[in-house]
């Protein structure tokens, strides 16, 4: 078989697929990489509780499992005062542990109501969590707790622009 014949037979379909892929991709906004997930609020709360007891930022960072430069940066950027409330959340939002439990049970092909019963949440909350944070991988929807937690932390960041400023 001549080289030209081979390239003609094998390149027709992939070129079409690549063209379609580029067209689909042009309509979507660029996806940002989540990168390494930030330490959870629970870790930061524990860090600031230890600072309140009087230990150094380096000791507090090591105690909660983050690097010394990260602990020093938290301390420096906050001016030595806790930027977050040290009180535990009252349960309105899903915790990372609950998201991990949802991911495990969902991977075991458990139903939404069964997952909700196991973690003690409303089935609607579990359903919304799975719908909002499921990503398509290899043609099937997959839920990942770390990505869901990252998205929740990104959307909870303050200050936010007022709605009227965004949409006149």
**Boundaries of domain holding 137:** 96-155
- Structure confidence at residue 141 (pLDDT): 77
Residues 15-44 as b/e (b if ≥16 CB within 10 A, e otherwise) read eeeeeeeeeeeeeeeeeeeeeeeebebeeb
Distance of CA 2 to the CA centre of its chain: 51
Joined tokens for residue 53: 């007891």
Contacts of residue 105, defined as CB under 8 A and 6 or more positions apart, other chains included, come to 114, 115, 118, 119
Residues 100, 150: one domain? yes
Q: Is residue 7 part of a domain?
A: no
Average pLDDT of each block of 10 consecutive residues along the chain (168 residues)? 50 62 63 67 88 94 92 91 76 87 93 92 92 79 87 80 79
Distance of CA 137 to the CA centre of its chain: 16
Residues 105, 151: one domain? yes
Number of structural domains in the chain? 2
Residues 73, 107: one domain? no
Residues 104, 150: one domain? yes
Give the span between the Cα atoms of 24 and 11, in whole angstroms: 20
Provide the pairing of β-strand 140-143 with 134-137: antiparallel
Q: Is residue 34 part of a domain?
A: no
Q: Is residue 18 part of a domain?
A: no
Q: Is residue 85 part of a domain?
A: no
Q: Is residue 142 part of a domain?
A: yes
- Smallest CA-to-CA distance from 97 within 48, 141, 149 is with 149
Residues 145, 116: one domain? yes
- Structure confidence at residue 102 (pLDDT): 94
Q: Is residue 16 part of a domain?
A: no
Q: What is the reported pTM?
A: 0.52
Distance of CA 102 to the CA centre of its chain: 14
- Smallest CA-to-CA distance from 116 within 131, 129, 133 is with 129
Residues 141, 113: one domain? yes
- Structure confidence at residue 7 (pLDDT): 47
Q: Is residue 22 part of a domain?
A: no
Residues 103, 62: one domain? no
- Secondary structure letter of residue 42 according to DSSP: H
Joined tokens for residue 109: 């092909």
Q: Is residue 165 part of a domain?
A: no
Residues 107, 143: one domain? yes
């Amino acid at each position: 078989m001549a080289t030209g014949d081979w390239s003609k037979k094998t390149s027709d379909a992939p070129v079409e697929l690549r063209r379609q892929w580029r067209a689909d991709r042009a309509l979507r906004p660029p996806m940002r990489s989540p990168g390494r997930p930030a330490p959870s609020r629970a870790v930061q709360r524990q860090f600031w509780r230890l600072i309140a007891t009087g230990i150094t930022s380096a000791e507090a960072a090591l105690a909660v499992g983050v690097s010394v430069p990260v602990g020093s940066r938290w301390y420096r950027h906050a001016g030595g005062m806790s930027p977050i409330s040290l009180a535990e959340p009252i349960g309105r939002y899903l915790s990372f542990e609950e998201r991990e439990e949802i991911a495990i049970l969902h991977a075991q092909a458990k139903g939404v109501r069964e997952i909700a019963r196991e973690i003690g949440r409303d089935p609607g909350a579990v359903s919304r969590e799975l719908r909002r944070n499921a990503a398509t991988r290899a043609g099937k929807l997959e839920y990942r707790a770390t990505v869901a937690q990252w998205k929740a932390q990104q959307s909870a960041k303050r200050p936010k622009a007022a709605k009227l400023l965004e949409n006149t």
